[in-house]
Chain A
Amino acid sequence: MKQSKAFVSFDLLFAALPLLLMVSYLATVIVFATETADSSLHSNELTGKLSTIADYLVKRGAVARQAQENNYLGTATYRPNVIDDYYLGQFENNKEEIQNWMDLKSLEVSWEPKEGTCVYRLVLHNNEVKKLYVCGE
């Protein structure tokens, strides 16, 4: 009688072991999938933020402009994609504020790629075609 109970326990053990292994494998896959999805979402979100900043820079923030004659409420004629060093410098001064708004750890705007995720836009700088990089984390 005792012998048969022991056999039943072993039988159960061997039956449960693959089941447990499968459950743990499934749990690992779910964790991995969640982490990948999170990472992908974060990456897309970061790229989106950097693209938005880059778009603002090439259309408004760092472009050459000409104030209108009446200068009504600071209105000006903007030249998209024509980068002016003075306004690019001004953006650098306000960089921290934008970084906080966008909830970024770091933000760099330069003519060369920096650390972190980077997006670039094609611009004219001193009548030369150049890549303006916006990098951040």
Chain B
Amino acid sequence: MKTIEAIISMMVLLSFASLTLIQVPQAEPSLHKYQLAEDIWRIAYLKGCFSQSMFNEKFSLDSAAITSALESKKGADQAIISVMERSLSTAALADPTDEMEECLNPLFDEINQQTSLNIAFDAPLEVAAGDSLPGEEAVVIHKALVLNGVPQRVALKVE
């Protein structure tokens, strides 16, 4: 009799256990989020947000000024020095991260409106290698960018 009771108890337990297992929510596939994160990075690149041309333009304008100063041959040395000083000061003031964010923020807003994905860009990355940014469900991809001539790790977080 006790054996039958034990069998019955076991069956009830198993049935409830299996029912509970069925009801466990499935983990959201993150592969698609990784693909979307890569898409966002690619689109940002295609839109020119990581282009260094905007910094180079300042130098190219100044190099034109240098050329004209050389052609005039009047106080050329002084003109070159002043132009170089201005170039250096402009380069020092220009923060590539700010300029990049100016390009990225409207793009992220546009993507957010279309997809309801929350996107965050972190540059330079301040977390150790292999760590992820806060947000358990977020997908983080790591990339390298040259900022002010220095390669730096950056992270793009999508959730």
Contact = CB atoms under 8 A, between A and B. Distances in A.
Interface string B39-56: 110110011000000000
Contact of A22 (B12, B19, B22): B12
Nearest to B45: A81
Contacts of B46: 79, 81-82, 124
Given A33-B22, A129-B107, A129-B114, A122 B15 contact: no
Given A18-B8, A47-B32, 14 more contacts: A22-B12, A26-B11, A26-B15, A29-B19, A33-B22, A36-B22, A51-B31, A58-B39, A79-B46, A81-B42, A119-B32, A124-B46, A129-B43, A129-B107
A79 to B, nearest CB: 8
The 5 A-B pairs of least Cβ separation, nearest first, read A122-B39, A81-B42, A26-B15, A29-B15, A36-B22
Interface of B: 4, 8, 11-12, 14-15, 18-19, 21-22, 26, 29, 31-32, 35-36, 39-40, 42-43, 46-47, 107, 110-111, 114-115
A79 B45 CA distance: 12
21 contacts: A18-B8, A19-B4, A19-B8, A23-B11, A32-B22, A36-B22, A40-B26, A47-B29, A51-B35, A79-B46, A80-B42, A81-B39, A81-B46, A82-B46, A119-B32, A121-B36, A122-B36, A122-B39, A124-B43, A124-B46, A131-B114
A36 B39 CA distance: 33
A86 interface: no
Interface in A57-94: 58, 79-82
Contacts, number: 63
Contacts of A131: 114-115
Contact of B18 (A23, A30, A58, A79): A30
Interface string A17-29: 0110011011001
Contacts of B15: 22, 25-26, 29
A81 B43 contact: yes
Nearest to B1: A15
B11 A22 contact: yes
A32 B18 CA distance: 10
Contacts of B36: 121-122
